[in-house]
Structure 1
Amino acid sequence: MDMVQTEKLIYEYEKRDEDGNVIGTSRAVDGVDLDVKEGQFIAILGHNGSGKSTFAKHINAILVPTEGSMWVDGKNTSDPGEIWNVRQTAGMVFQNPDNQIIGTVVEEDVGFGPENLGVPTDEIWQRVEESLKAVGMIEYRHHSPNKLSGGQKQRVAIAGVVAMEPKCIVLDEPTAMLDPVGRKEVLKTVQKLRKQKHVTVILITHYMEEVVDADRIFVMDHGRIVMEGTPKEVFSRVEELKSLRLDVPQVTILADELRKKGLNIPAGILRKEELVDILCQLE
């Protein structure tokens, strides 16, 4: 079953002058067709301004299409009568957790979403406990979010979304403000949740190392999908990725350079261990 499906999705921003008059439009998403199956881990890549974050905001109807359609779990996001259901189905985690955390105590913040959904009090506290355990933050339940590290705050933000029990979690550059340790914490948490809860995960990022475990990758440029495939298929196209101003995992670049030097190394190497095994087998 499709969790997310788009058909010729277009979104245009209005351009305004200093007096607020509309002087034109700018197309941020341009004719996107995309399907995401239930339970998949999908990554959307692209340089700044490629349209990936604008696209992400359509998944829980923060934005609605100018033209074309988006369906989330079979619900049309352009239908005002479905907005509540769409937002219960797809939860979003943004890159800055401070924009998403509103409670003065961790457990109260995590319980805020379910409370707004009308979940009974006993069930709210059960969900809070389960969500904090799932992201490894249960021992911080009585702490102030202000005293947490960036990675810990982001895990609390994820717990707040998980407590709402969405079928799909959209992460819009959730590690952009974190150090390498924080990035690993958050990604490990997301993968654990996907396996435990069977949620669909859509990750928007420009860190290539974060997407090597994705089921499928979509690459955006100027609002269009210009490349798609498995991680191995996408990262086999090193020169094309570079032309799109995207980084490539270091081990992939190294393998590509060794192949150019004549070594019998396949395209699309994603992990150091994989490259080491291949090098050890060469005569």
Structure 2
Amino acid sequence: MGIIEAKKLSHDYQKIGEDGSVESVYRAVDGVDLDVAPGQFIAILGHNGSGKSTLAKHLNAILLPSEGTVYVDGMDTKDMDKLEEIRQTAGMVFQNPDNQIIGTVVDEDVAFGPENMGVPTEEIVKRVENSLKTVGMWEYRSHSPNRLSGGQKQRVAIAGVVAMEPKCIVLDEPTAMLDPVGRKEVIRAAQKLNREKGITIILITHYMEEVVEADRVIVMDQGKILMQGTPREVFSRVEELKEHRLDVPQVTMLAHELRKDGLDLPEGILTIREFADVLGKAGQECQ
């Protein structure tokens, strides 16, 4: 069994009338199967309303299934006796870091989670140092979070989750409110946690460039999984993605358009460096 497993997961939002009756039902997630192995970096893509954030909230029992089942490290999210353990196993980072940061000083904020778990003081001190160093925020440990940039705040929020030593971190559109610099800071921190600490990362995003180094990309549309595979496999399906109002990385689209114009380029180019290498080889062959 994977660290995260969903079986036929569906979630309905109900609109309740003034008299308490159900006026309408909207199915946000519809029959999703998901299996995430320990140590993987998974990216879940989709436009607004695709169901990706609703799915994310099921992965540490913020929401419970209307139908189907979600297991976190073998624990059923509907088992209320396991709720605390589930949320310590799968930590959650949200869009707005201000909603997660509660301390007046950075290191106090990061220590809050372990303190609530009853971790001994000496161990808390180690965890705070290690987690802040991991996300590159150790030098800001005595700063007020209010004086940090958006990207720095989000890295502190991630450090607060890391200090609780989860096996998995779910990042629900963590860069949505950030500028390009802040977005890069947060994605690098997530990649480092995955590579160096072996923490399973599930990144929910609509920024295509953020997922090119993921192990697997899952694309959602209308509450269902539309496609999944490696980034190269998914982004090779440019026309299909466009049909569903989804983008691809800019360099992938550029290569795709040049290919349509007759240039001998492979589908699924993901990075500027890769594009430059392929373009250079094509130029040499033309000489």
Give the TM-score range, shorter chain: over 0.9
Question: What residue number does 2:2 align with?
Answer: 2
Q: State the match for 1:55 in structure 2.
A: 55
**Could you say what secondary structure the match of 1:2 adopts?**
coil
Q: What is the match of residue 154 of structure 2?
A: 154
- Within a 5 Å distance, the mapping from 1:240-251 to structure 2 comes to 240-251=240-251
The residue that corresponds to 1:65 in the other structure is 65
> What residue identity is the alignment partner of 1:250?
Q
Aligned to 1:182: 182
User: Counterpart in 2 of 1:235?
Assistant: 235
What CA deviation, in whole Å up to 9, does each residue of 1:189-229 have, x standing for no partner? 11111112100000000000000001001111111001111
Tell whether the 8 Å contact from 1:91 to 1:161 is kept in structure 2 after alignment: yes
Alignment partner of 1:29 is 2:41: no
TM-score, length of structure 1 as denominator length: 0.98
Corresponding residue number in structure 2 for 1:94: 94
Please give the residue correspondences for 1:85-124 in structure 2 after superposition, counting only pairs within 5 Å. 85-124=85-124
SS at match of 1:248: coil
Distance 1:94 1:275 in 2: 33
* 1:81-112 alpha-carbon deviations (Å, 9 max, x no partner): 21111111000000100011011111111001
Instruction: Supply the distance in 1 between the matched residues of 2:115 and 2:242 (Cα, whole angstroms).
Output: 46
Quote how far apart the aligned CAs of 1:68 are. 0.3
> For the structure 1 residues 150 and 19, does the alpha-carbon distance in structure 2 shift closer, same or farther, using more than 3 Å as the test?
farther
TM-score normalised to structure 2 length? 0.96
Superposed, which structure 2 residues align to 1:122-161 within 5 Å? 122-161=122-161
Q: Distance in 1 between matches of 2:139 and 2:277?
A: 40
Unmatched runs of 5 consecutive residues or more in structure 1: none
Q: Secondary structure at the match of 2:98?
A: helix
How many residue pairs align between the two structures? 283
Residue 61 (structure 1) shift: 0.3
Q: Deviations over 1:105-149 (max 9, x none)?
A: 111110011111111111111101111111111111111111111
Alignment partners' CA distance in 2, 1:136 and 1:231: 27
Detail structure 1 runs of 4+ shifted over 3 Å in the superposition. Answer: 18-21
Q: Is the 8 A contact 1:47 1:244 kept in 2?
A: no
**Share of identical aligned residues, percent?**
71
CA RMSD of aligned residues (A): 1.0
> Is 2:170 the partner of 1:170?
yes
SS at match of 1:42: strand
Q: Paired residue for 1:280?
A: 280
